[in-house]
Amino acid sequence: MLPYLWDYRGRVLFALIALLCAKMTNVGAPLVLKNIVDNLDKSQQTILVLPVLLLSIYGLLRLSSAFFNELRDTIFARVRYHTMRHLSCKTLQHLHKLSLRFHLDRQTGAISRDMERGTRSISNILNYMVFNIIPTFAEFFLIALILLIQYEIKFTLITFATVTVYIFFTLAITEWRMEFRHLMNAKESEANYQAIDSLVNYETVKYFGNEAFEVKRYGETLHAWEEAAVKSQTSMSVLNFGQSAIIAVGVILIMFSASQSVVDGTMSLGDLVLVNTFLLQLFIPLNFLGILYRSIKYALVDMDMLFRLLEQTPEIQNAPDAKTLLIEDASIHFDNVSFHYQPDRPILHNISFTIPQGHKVAVVGASGAGKSTLARLLFRFYDVTGGSIRINGHDIRTVSMASLRAAMGIVPQDTVLFNDSIYYNIAYANPQADEITVQNAAKIANIHDFILQLPQGYNTLVGERGLKLSGGEKQRVAIARAVLKRPKILIFDEATSSLDSKSEQTIQSALINVASQHTTLVIAHRLSTIIDANEILVMEQGHIIERGTHSILLENNSVYANLWRLQQEEQRE
């Protein structure tokens, strides 16, 4: 945490000075109280003069202690919340840097919970250190120093022995209790993930009538959490009682020794009050120190998953000497590209093709043939395991990912929208675009008139993942978004698969106009949408088995021709 504290090192130093002043005034108050008691006990002549002065000083010291404590809190607030903000932003930035493979495997609910607990625990630890631990130890050493200088060494020895036994007892019992906390956290994250996952898949749950199943699964996980929580609370009671017993023994020993010294005449009544007050000031926060230690241990457990997350290395990274991709000629070349997600499951085998500047190449084939993988490799969500992909002659692994992705726009098969307005989702491609430009993009995507019919128009909220819109409406928003970006390279990944025939025909001409000035890769299911392509690639199990224009492929009377006849027959039916 030191790098975050270093950003506000002046404030941290000022807060520590305020902390030290608070503790010095707090320890000085019992010393004044001792003099008040001794003066009241020894002489009645000064009772109307001296105690008034001492009482005024005593009250001023107590007030000063409160002032310096509040000053410390005020100064340190900026440090605390800055650290939380900075770490939260760093975590989100890091998550966006991680590869697609990580995000396909992640549990969103669990990660959300780990982020929340991790950043909160950072704040808690800073609070514990500055507001509790350092002040308690500072006060302990000040009190021990005064006892060592002014009184017999037995008082210091008893105090040190009590604190030492207390700390070791707390450490031992807390370590034993930690396994219950680990289990609680694991089950809480699991339950949170299950709840969010079932809500995200609300419609699927309804389709299969599995509401009771989801609640049962959630309840079983919470039952395991409940058992761990009960054991944690029970063991805490054992710890609290043991701590109280140790403190009680220490207090009895010191008070017995002090009382005996008063009887023997080696200590005054004021000394007895001083020792008693010191013990109250020391052991009350020391008792809380046990709770603090446990809280810090729990906070460290909570932080563990967050820091493990930050230690995840992005699978795909910029090369050390990565250059900015400057597209003069937006040609794309796949050169003997091979790829696999797992070594025992190859997806692409020696794929080679070229898309010249301004040309349109379409890829067709059955599901699982590897078509969409081409788009993922082009965006460099994954790196090829063999061969290379070049844009404008540059291997995409040698250019920065930011410049690479800035040069491309995509209309995906499964469009996921932000839970915001339609306007926000379209303008996401270019947040600086004005309203007229956004509306023009919507018109090209044939969704402008539909938006105007909505009660709130462009300000209509689309719901989580865009669930308030139909599949066709979501895809038209995605098309408008791609149009607004105006990239050099366009990728349509089955961009009209969710549209009805009428909407498809309307949008198809718009897509042709949009793509006419771009280098375009079209991954298609409906062959009627790609008959104008300069080249059509037919894929099967990761291989290109046919290639040519629409007319040439029909003349070949092979796989593509059979697919064409089947789709034409389906359309007629």
pLDDT, tens only, 424-452: 989 988 888 899 999 988 888 888 888 99
CATH topology of domain 332-407+487-572: Rossmann fold (3.40.50)
Which SS3 state, helix, strand or coil, does residue 386 take? strand
SS (H, E, C) 182-236: HHHHHHHHHHHHHHHHHHHCHHHHHHCCCHHHHHHHHHHHHHHHHHHHHHHHHHH
pLDDT in tens, 113-170: 777 777 777 777 777 777 777 777 777 788 778 878 887 888 888 878 887 888 788 8
d(CA 278, CA 30): 7
Q: How far is CA 381 from the centre of its chain?
A: 21
Residue 323 CA: distances (Å) to CA of 415, 487, 524: 31, 19, 32
Regarding predicted confidence, which is higher, 328 or 398? 398
Average pLDDT of the segment spanning 187-199: 87
What are the boundaries of each domain within the chain? 2-311, 332-407+487-572
Is 468:421 a contact under the CB 8 Å cutoff? no
Specify the length of the chain in residues.
573
Q: Which helix (H) or strand (E) holds 545?
A: strand 543-548
Res 444: pLDDT? 83
Residue 349 CA: distances (Å) to CA of 195, 336, 375, 384, 542: 41, 8, 15, 11, 6
Is 495:479 a contact under the CB 8 Å cutoff? yes
d(CA 353, CA 544): 9
For the ranges 40-44, 66-70, 127-131, 377-381, the maximum mean pLDDT occurs at 377-381
d(CA 191, CA 210): 17
Strands of the 360-365 sheet, one edge to the other: 408-411, 489-493, 519-523, 360-365, 535-540, 543-548
Largest CA distance in the chain: 125
Res 573: pLDDT? 76
pLDDT band at residue 298, thresholds of 50, 70 and 90? confident
* Statement: the pTM of the whole predicted model exceeds 0.85: no
Res 507: pLDDT? 65
pLDDT in tens, 73-124: 788 888 878 888 888 888 888 887 877 777 766 666 667 777 777 777 777 7
Give the residues across from 127 on adjacent strands.
none
Give the residues across from 361 on adjacent strands.
521, 535
Q: How far is CA 117 from the centre of its chain?
A: 9
**Cβ neighbours, 10 Å, residue 213:** 12
Res 46: pLDDT? 47
With 0-12 CB in 10 A as exposed, 13-18 as middle and 19+ as buried, what is 6? exposed
Residue bearing tokens 């009960």 = 230
For the ranges 19-23, 114-118, 267-271, 370-374, the maximum mean pLDDT occurs at 370-374
pLDDT band at residue 537, thresholds of 50, 70 and 90? very high
CATH match for 2-311 among 3.20.20.10, 3.30.1330.60, 1.20.1560.10, 3.40.50.10540: 1.20.1560.10
Res 536: pLDDT? 92
CB-based contacts of 497: which residues, under 8 Å, 6+ apart?
Answer: 413, 475, 525, 526
Is residue 259 pLDDT above 80, yes or no?
yes
**Residue among 486, 374, 475 at smallest CA distance from 425:** 475
With 0-12 CB in 10 A as exposed, 13-18 as middle and 19+ as buried, what is 509? exposed
